[in-house]
Amino acid sequence: MTEDQRLIDIKIDELLEKVIGFHAAGYRLVQIGCTKTDVLEINYSFDKDYNFVNLRIVIPSVDIEIPSVSSIYWSAFLYENEISDLYGIKIKNMAIDYKGNFYRTTVKYPFNPQNTGSSGEGIPS
Amino acid sequence: MTKRTIIPFGPQHPVLPEPIHLDLVLEDELVVEAIPSIGFIHRGLEKLVEKKDFIDFVYVAERICGICSFIHGLTYCIAVEEIMKIKVPERADYLRTIWSELSRMHSHLLWMGLMADSFGFESLFMHTWRMREKILDIIENTTGGRVIFASAKVGGVRRDIDSATLKSISKSLESYKNELKEITDIFIKDSSVQHRLVGVGVLKKGQAYELGAVGPTLRASGWSIDTRKLGYAAYKNIDFEPVVETSGDSYARCVVRIKELFQSIDIIRQLAGKIPDGPIEIKITGNPDGEFFARTEQPRGEVIYYAKANGTKFLQRLRVRTPTFANIPSLVKMLPGSSLADVPVLVLTIDPCISCTER
Amino acid sequence: MQFFVMAKTVLKSLFRKPATVKYPFGPKMLSEFARGSISIDISRCIFCGMCQRKCPTGAIVVTREEKTWNIARLKCITCGYCVEVCPKKCLQMSNQYTEPMLTKHEDLYKNA
């Protein structure tokens, strides 16, 4: 293992409070990324002095709205627009909301679990 | 009140090697606001991981970016190796580090050339790229490719460099230093270069950290943060300190990259002296199961590969956060207050690589 | 702040040979190890299809019955993975690049 990585599972309504805590402690936002398993997971990664910490929220369905952290970390708006464009997750109060025009994809919400349509066609297996 | 004009900048613009679009709100000649927009070249490479064997995917990962291709492949390998708890042979670690540094050098020289081009110094651009060609020759002689190395693999590396070649590389780089200094001195000392770079696009120390900037953009604002210090591959055995500048303007970002060039030569010299003998790869058995965030330092900054596997030969998710993605917010905050003529310089100063940003 | 820092470099280049190669009038510089194109010694091929299965872009098509080995040169990314997995070592990486072509044709090798 090159480094220890802490992973903290939290609930959606705890998110803002926890992120404010990280901001106050002087962490920088490394990335926000969504993962599709049976449910949708969003990882918020922070780093301070090479100390890597992850917050994870689990979203049972795409209809649930999650709060934006872009009022705390302004740079988060890019990651959040990416998630909402690729997965179709609704995010409230983003600093800049591109309303689905951040990524110009032919298929709307290509990574969305309900989207089983034409994605992946034409790829050599 | 002055009249406000909105100027669309990009995605096609002579200074931009890759498509990014900026809506610039201007008051006379001054930018007051900038709204970025990307997404012209989203290729869906992250989705492709669900269709490709995790061992074969390294070839796709390498092609996420054409300039830092090796480090992309390397980071992918590190992510999978960490999940599978594989210890890579030490010689492979050293070779990976040597190639990482060579690719950092060729990327920085490419950037310097483009930068010279963006402020209109065409002959400097030509000379910088003449210097870059020598690095590309070394890369071609050791890996077979000029920009796509195809040398990283899960469990080690695919090629070896014999010790005679390593010695000659490290020796030729020493003499290369003097030639390089002649070119980099122009960037550092020439008045016309300074005129275009000093004080342009200042990113204050606190601001850079707050906006999540990475790589030379962050280090030019006075932060000594370099992911290589985590000690992945062979960096744990190497003695180096991150290059830091404090003024935070375009000139500082240029100086950081120039100093990193010389630092890379020094790192390669150390590596060539320390490299142990032994195997260069180990056999992989089984499939990965678990998750890991691999972090490495690319020429442009920190890159994150998040891999999640569920015990099959296809990864469940691969997320790539490239350094340019993290640097776009800083660019947006740098632009207000600068004049329209400085916008091309500022866009290039973060070393944008939009294709890898969108994957 | 200095002026004419570039002058030395400019003067030097006046008397130096061009840094570029005068291709096609002069020879092009090719590294011995350059990954140019894949070549096959078809007489040794056993048509196992290993290269076809491993090819990341699907450029190689092998048929066992007709004993053919087919490569789409424009699809091939010359990663050299096929050379590595070939059990008979009949595939080779040559340092000659594929010649420019007007149509997307494929190279067919047949063992009669």
**pLDDT tens profile B272-319:** 888 888 888 888 888 888 888 888 888 888 888 888 888 888 888 888
> Quick check: C81 contacting A, CB < 8 Å?
no
Average of pLDDT values for A37-48?
85
The mean pLDDT value of chain A amounts to 79
Q: Is residue A123 part of a domain?
A: no
Question: What are the residues facing B327 on neighbouring strands?
Answer: none
Question: Residue for token digits 């990663």?
Answer: C79
**Terminal-residue alpha carbon distance, chain A:** 32
Chain B environment of A104 (Cβ under 8 Å): 39-40, 42
**Residue A77: CATH number of its domain:** 3.30.460.80
The second-level CATH assignment, the architecture, of C32-110 is 2-Layer Sandwich (3.30)
> Quick check: A124 contacting C, CB < 8 Å?
yes
Q: What domains can be seen in chain B, in order of their start residue?
A: 4-349 (1.10.645.10)
Task: Please give the pLDDT value at position A115.
Answer: 65
Where does residue C29 rank: exposed (0-12), middle (13-18), buried (19+ CB within 10 A)? exposed
Residue B126 CA to residue B105 CA, distance in Å, equals: 16
Residue B221 CA to residue B248 CA, distance in Å, equals: 4
> Quick check: A115 contacting B, CB < 8 Å?
no
Which DSSP symbol is given to B339? B
Q: Is residue A33 part of a domain?
A: yes
Q: Is residue A88 part of a domain?
A: yes
User: Beta-carbon neighbour count of residue A19 at 10 Å?
Assistant: 22
Distance from CA of A13 to the nearest CA of B (A): 24
Q: Is residue A79 part of a domain?
A: yes
The reply to whether residue B51 touches residue A45, judged by beta carbons under 8 angstroms, is: no
The reply to whether residue C56 touches residue B124, judged by beta carbons under 8 angstroms, is: no
- Cβ(B105)–Cβ(B264) under 8 Å? yes
Is residue B237 very low, low, confident or very high in pLDDT (cuts 50, 70, 90)? Answer: confident
Residue B256 CA to residue B271 CA, distance in Å, equals: 22
DSSP one-letter string for B93-123 = HHHHHHHHHHHHHHHHHHHHHHHHHHTT-HH
The amino acid sitting at A34 is C
HSE on the CB side for B142, CA within 13 Å? Answer: 30
With 70 as the cut, is the pLDDT of residue B148 above it? yes
> Quick check: C8 contacting B, CB < 8 Å?
yes
pLDDT in tens, B13-36: 777 777 888 888 888 888 888 888
Q: Is residue A119 part of a domain?
A: no
B134 against A101, higher pLDDT: B134
The reply to whether residue B190 touches residue C3, judged by beta carbons under 8 angstroms, is: yes
User: What token pair was written down for A48?
Assistant: 């301070």
Hey, which chains touch B, using 3+ CB pairs under 8 Å? A, C
Is residue A74 very low, low, confident or very high in pLDDT (cuts 50, 70, 90)? Answer: confident
Chain C environment of A125 (Cβ under 8 Å): 58
Average of pLDDT values for A13-23?
85
With 50 as the cut, is the pLDDT of residue B234 above it? yes
Share of chain B above pLDDT 70, in %: 100
Distance from CA of C63 to the nearest CA of B (A): 22
B164: enclosing H helix or E strand: helix B163-189
With 60 as the cut, is the pLDDT of residue A123 above it? no
> Quick check: C58 contacting A, CB < 8 Å?
yes
The reply to whether residue C93 touches residue B189, judged by beta carbons under 8 angstroms, is: no
> Quick check: C3 contacting B, CB < 8 Å?
yes
> Quick check: C57 contacting A, CB < 8 Å?
yes
User: Beta-carbon neighbour count of residue B57 at 10 Å?
Assistant: 24
| Annotated domain spans of chain C | 32-110
Is residue A122 very low, low, confident or very high in pLDDT (cuts 50, 70, 90)? Answer: very low
Closest to B188 measured CA to CA, from B242, B133, B84, B112: B112
Cα–Cα distances in Å, from A16 out to A22, A23, A88, B137, B175?
10, 10, 21, 51, 55
The reply to whether residue B293 touches residue A45, judged by beta carbons under 8 angstroms, is: yes
Which of C31, C60, C77, C83 to probe by mutation at the B interface, max B CB count within 10 Å? C31
Is residue B1 very low, low, confident or very high in pLDDT (cuts 50, 70, 90)? Answer: low
Residue C26 CA to residue C14 CA, distance in Å, equals: 21
- Cβ(B137)–Cβ(B187) under 8 Å? no
Average of pLDDT values for B339-358?
83
Task: Please give the pLDDT value at position A120.
Answer: 46
Question: Residue for token digits 């042979």?
Answer: B89
Chain A environment of C57 (Cβ under 8 Å): 124
> Quick check: A122 contacting C, CB < 8 Å?
no
Distance from CA of A114 to the nearest CA of C (A): 28
Which of C10, C79, C95 to probe by mutation at the B interface, max B CB count within 10 Å? C79
Number of domains in chain A: 1
Residue A97 CA to residue A90 CA, distance in Å, equals: 11
Task: Please give the pLDDT value at position A121.
Answer: 47
Q: Is residue A99 part of a domain?
A: no
Task: Please give the pLDDT value at position B225.
Answer: 86
**Terminal-residue alpha carbon distance, chain C:** 74
> Quick check: B316 contacting A, CB < 8 Å?
yes
Task: Please give the pLDDT value at position B173.
Answer: 87
User: What token pair was written down for B346?
Assistant: 């500022």
Q: Is residue A106 part of a domain?
A: no
Domain holding A46, by residue range, is 5-92
Q: Which of B52, B183, B194 sits opposite C1 (nearest CB)?
A: B194
Q: Which of B212, B310, B317 sits opposite A73 (nearest CB)?
A: B212
Average of pLDDT values for B252-263?
90
The mean pLDDT value of chain B amounts to 86
Chain B environment of C32 (Cβ under 8 Å): 141
The amino acid sitting at B277 is D
Question: Residue for token digits 């669309």?
Answer: B8
Is residue A125 very low, low, confident or very high in pLDDT (cuts 50, 70, 90)? Answer: very low
**10-residue averages of pLDDT along chain C (112 residues):** 78 84 79 82 84 84 84 85 85 82 78 65
